Amino acid sequence: MTATILDGTKVAKRADQVFQETVQELKQHQIIPGLAVILVGDNPASAVYVRNKQRRAEKIGLNYQLFHLPVTVSQDELLELIQRLNQDPQVDGLMVQMPLPAQIDAMVVMNTIAPEKDVDGFSIANVGRLWSGMFGNFPGTPRGIMRLLHEYQVPIAGQHAVVIGRSDIVGKPMAALLLRENATVTIAHSHTRDLRSLTRQADILVVAVGQAGLISGADIKPGAVVVDVGMNRNEAGKLVGDIDFPSVAQVAKMVTPVPGGVGPMTITGLLEQVVTLAQRRVEQND
Ligand SMILES: Nc1nc(=O)c2c([nH]1)NC[C@@H]1CN(c3ccc(C(=O)N[C@@H](CCC(=O)O)C(=O)O)cc3)C=[N+]21
């Protein structure tokens, strides 16, 4: 068997067209959806991601603002900027790119962003909303992955989904969204015993660890859907995921590539969130 590629680049392009039309309609209501991104310091990977976000946000017609602060900025200065943007009616969505320098407490930063504007969904209010089945802002990566699975009509209800990784930005919210759509969800992590006996049971396997080559074809169930969230650099400086793609593609029914899989869909998840917030602004005005 050779797996179908879950083409994040293609699905992201299609989603951008839909968002672009929605933004046009919003503009007829005198509403321009606004996204503000705060970038602290000069981490090269962050610079790439933020550039990709800006390109996509501008393409769909968002009012995009980047606030680039020096690596030496104090926590108080950062919090002051966040509070100002919390008050700014032009800003529907606000996010602070991670990672942050050591003098800044990321937890405090995330919980200073107004929950209604927290498009990353990292604040405790949104985490609570996610796990209690309410409407809320949820993290871009799992949102984008759900959209990708839906586009390829992957069945979710009743399926056994195994998520490897329990981070607050991917593993946990991924498990919550799969559970909300009635998957049977197992979360595995570094303390899990006999990981491979679990991965071989997965109908949907999401790998979000940050370890190249962690999962190969022998570790998965034939016909599984495999989502690779890993972003690792190999010796040649090339971006590689957490799975051994060639062997997995021999056994899986569907698999995401890296790059061109989850990465572009992460931005789709974010843009979807911003557009949704601006749409609610119209509903409130009506
Ligand atoms: N507050 C916050 N929110 C985030 O959503 C957030 C963050 N911090 N910190 C870092 C992670 C990572 N992330 C990515 C965005 C785009 C690509 C992306 O565009 N990837 C391309 C290629 C990228 C490349 O060539 O390096 C791809 O996979 O095809 C990847 C990863 C957002 N993150």
Q: Is 143 annotated as a binding residue?
A: no
Residue 260 Cα: closest atom of ligand 1: 29
How would DSSP label each residue in the chain? --PEE--HHHHHHHHHHHHHHHHHHHHHTT---EEEEEEES--HHHHHHHHHHHHHHHHHT-EEEEEEE-TT--HHHHHHHHHHHHH-TT-SEEEEPSP--TTS-HHHHHTTS-TTTBTT--SHHHHHHHHTT------HHHHHHHHHHHHTT---TT-EEEEE---TTTHHHHHHHHHHTT-EEEEE-TT-SSHHHHHTT-SEEEE-S--TT-B-GGGS-TT-EEEE---EE-TTS-EE-SB-HHHHHHH-SEE--SSSSHHHHHHHHHHHHHHHHHHHHHHHH-
Look up the pTM and report it. Answer: 0.97
- Supply the mean pLDDT for the chain: 97
| ipTM exceeding cut-off 0.90 for this assembly | yes
pLDDT of residue 282: 81
Question: Active-site residue among 7, 16, 53, 228?
Answer: 53
Q: Is 14 annotated as a binding residue?
A: no
pLDDT of residue 73: 98
Report all structural domains of the chain as residue ranges with CATH numbers, in order of start.
Answer: 30-116 (3.40.50.10860), 140-263 (3.40.50.720)
Over residues 122-142, the pLDDT tens digits come to 999 999 999 999 999 999 999
Over residues 45-60, the pLDDT tens digits come to 999 999 999 999 999 9
Distance 20 CA to ligand 1 centre (A): 21
